[in-house]
Amino acid sequence: MNLSSTVSELCVMTQVMLDRQPTRLHPRHSRVAVLREARYADHAQPAGLVEVLRSAGHEVTVVDPQAVGPGRRQHRLRDVVNSADVMVARGRSDAVLAVLRAAAEVGVPVLDPAEAVARVRDKVAMAKVLRRAGVPTPATFIAPTEMLAARVPPAAYPLILKPVFGDNAEGLKLVMSQRELRLLNWPDRIALAQSHIPGDGVDLKVYAIGNHLTAVHKPSPINPCALAGARPADLDDRLANLARTCGRLFGLSLYGVDCLDTSNGPVVVEINDFPNFTAVPDANRLLADHVLTAAHAQARKGGASA
């Protein structure tokens, strides 16, 4: 084992722990509805959040969004919404968005709002928001693949093609040349293409839980690297401000910002709603405290207006 690298990593971890603001679970009993798509049943989140909330005595109902909806199941939707002090969702399906909207309409705090999740679910909409705001991103092109092959300049290659509604790095395709793009059988009507920025195979991600930010290095899904898992990274003011700008632009409080380091500073690849918060110290408790803060803020608001 390399002693100097071990000491360095421990110093980084110690600094992260020192910088972290102390959190505490709110003592008031709360009823929390957690919408969880089936594909996240065995993920770190929202399982970690649910465990901490329940261990602190809060009432947590985990709901499959496909089990609620209009028609003959409408009473189930009313039950879910009316029995919650706060609702938090892991997922971005139409069913999730519908339940979030229903909850918000009757005044239940939702994390995060359906409109915010929808804006990052749609990569075309996301790219347009980032461009209008002047957020640094790789060169981005949106069109059918045959049009991309005809119009994207050779200097922009290689490209990473993404499905407009893809997530969790699914459906990514690295395209090296115009010829390869012309021959590509893309399953969707249009694609989002970004210039691939060469690197060491290590991606930079900033996780946000409310105002708490954590930077993490993770292996790239595109380029192989020696990094075996996620590890803490330095979070300077420039990177922190960039992440907070992204959160404000989309109205998110639980999110991750995928970045790449370049010679001109970090660029934003995309934003994801409610990720796993991999390698974020004390993530479960930070999440629980954030969720309960939203519930109690609404309770105080209701009490003041009564």
Q: Quick one: 234 exposed, middle or buried, by C-beta within 10 A (0-12, 13-18, 19+)?
A: exposed
Please give the average pLDDT of every successive group of 10 residues along the chain, which has 306 residues.
36 34 62 96 97 97 82 65 94 94 94 97 96 97 97 97 90 95 95 90 93 94 72 95 98 96 92 96 98 83 48
What pLDDT sits at residue 136?
Answer: 97
The first and second tokens of residue 141, run together, are: 């092109």
What pLDDT sits at residue 122?
Answer: 96
What pLDDT sits at residue 170?
Answer: 86
Q: Quick one: 59 exposed, middle or buried, by C-beta within 10 A (0-12, 13-18, 19+)?
A: middle
Name the CATH topology of 140-195.
Dna Ligase; domain 1 (3.30.1490)
Q: Where are the alpha helices (DSSP H) in the chain?
A: 3-19, 44-55, 74-82, 94-105, 114-121, 123-132, 145-151, 178-183, 237-250, 283-305
What pLDDT sits at residue 302?
Answer: 54
What pLDDT sits at residue 301?
Answer: 62
Helices 94-105 and 74-82, interaxial angle, to 10°? 60
According to CATH, the superfamily of the domain at 25-110 is Response regulator (3.40.50.2300)
Domain ranges of the chain: 25-110, 123-134+199-273, 140-195
> 3-class DSSP state for residue 287?
helix
What pLDDT sits at residue 4?
Answer: 39
What pLDDT sits at residue 17?
Answer: 33
Contacts 24+ apart (CB under 8 A), 127-133: 127/192, 129/249, 129/250, 130/246, 130/249, 130/268, 133/245, 133/249
What pLDDT sits at residue 168?
Answer: 82
Cis amide linkage into residue 158, ω under 30° from 0:
yes
Tokens 């509805």 locate to 33
Query: Measured in whole angstroms, how far is the alpha carbon of residue 273 from the centre of its chain?
Result: 3
Name the CATH topology of 123-134+199-273.
D-amino Acid Aminotransferase; Chain A, domain 1 (3.30.470)
**Of residues 234, 231, 229, the one with CA closest to residue 281:** 231
Residue type, 236: D
What pLDDT sits at residue 80?
Answer: 85
**Of residues 76, 165, 155, 159, the one with CA closest to residue 123:** 165
Q: In whole angstroms, what is the distance from residue 37 CA to residue 62 CA?
A: 10
- What pTM does this model have? 0.86
What pLDDT sits at residue 305?
Answer: 45
DSSP letter assigned to residue 187: S
The first and second tokens of residue 64, run together, are: 């499959």
